[in-house]
Chain A
């Protein structure tokens, strides 16, 4: 099994959309995928799947259930050869506030439970891929997910000018944890790719010293959907879906 974290330095880069589409692409190929919403500060995976779970991932981290009990089979009826089991972060204000007030001792337990979840989805579910959709920046929940992953896909968008902050995060977290990492450039306006995709990617690679896995252009029609569609399934021939297909192969090889 390969555990992958979708992470970013700033918010709004498209992590959730990429995570859900990657899960769909892997499941369409016949793989079993476990998709976990680890953005407890701004849960958004539930917008896409509108689940009604018996337990949230918050319950699992609080020791109120097993991770399998917090997973929902969201791939049913999507015509997939494989399956997607998703775990959701509780979007209620009370739950978000509760997660923001946890102390270090609790976070220590959360790290253990995250690592245990990785083992459980591999053994009990027979998952081929575990995908964490994390919160941006350096928060406990995201670093717990990064530490539990085999590879990290850093999602950046066209107006991410804080290269220094991103570099600090790459060196201080990714490199220290010794995780393989690659960059996904997302929502890139045509005008920004002046000298072509290769030259654009090279500039970012040189600055961050990790490879660019792919450059995805900005598509207004995608933004208009507001994260309510899995393009890889709904419009498989769209350039966004095609770009993600290429990315899914490169991420699997990381």
Chain B
């Protein structure tokens, strides 16, 4: 009986983990989907980083984009200080925004600055 209970407990744990994994995959698919929608809009014409675009961005990118809107031009470290998130994560999000055509970046010495082209 003891063994059966242990197996049932283990199977429940595995099931919980699988459900959690499923939720995370759904989130990734959702983020990729919204990025694709934005990328499509980018290639189809003008899409400046105004509030309309901001509202259509996924949450994680919106916070980064808002920080750049406020700072004007900033490094990943400066954006991380603004959003209270990790610098590495902000660097990734900033580069995603560059790929989407919403931001530009330029190097000044050892630092990379991200900005909105007006």
Contacts and interface: CB of A to CB of B under 8 A. Distances in A.
A254 interface: no
A105 B48 contact: yes
Given A108-B116, A109-B118, A115-B69, A140 B48 contact: no
Interface stretch (A38-46, A51-59, A82-90, A169-177): A169-177
Contact of A108 (B62, B66, B118): B118
Contacts of B6: none
A115 B70 contact: yes
> Does more than half of chain A's interface fall in helix, strand or loop, or is it mixed?
helix
Interface string B69-96: 1101000000000000000000000000
Interface residues of B, number: 16
> Does more than half of chain B's interface fall in helix, strand or loop, or is it mixed?
helix
Given A112-B116, A119-B70, A104 B46 contact: yes
Contacts of B55: 143, 172-173, 176-177
Given A172-B55, A173-B55, A178-B59, A108 B70 contact: no
A66 interface: no
Contacts of B54: 111, 147
Given A104-B46, A112-B116, A178-B59, A143 B70 contact: no
Counting contact residues on chain A (CB < 8 A from B), the size range is 20 to 34
Contacts of A147: 51, 54, 66
Interface string B48-64: 11111011000100100
Contacts of B70: 112, 115-116, 118-119
A108 B59 contact: no
A128 interface: no
Nearest to A172: B55
B52 A104 contact: yes
Given A111-B69, A112-B116, A144 B48 contact: no
Contacts of A118: 70
A140 B52 CA distance: 8
Pick the 3 closest A-B CB pairs, nearest first. A115-B70, A108-B48, A108-B50
Interface of B: 46, 48-52, 54-55, 59, 62, 66, 69-70, 72, 116, 118
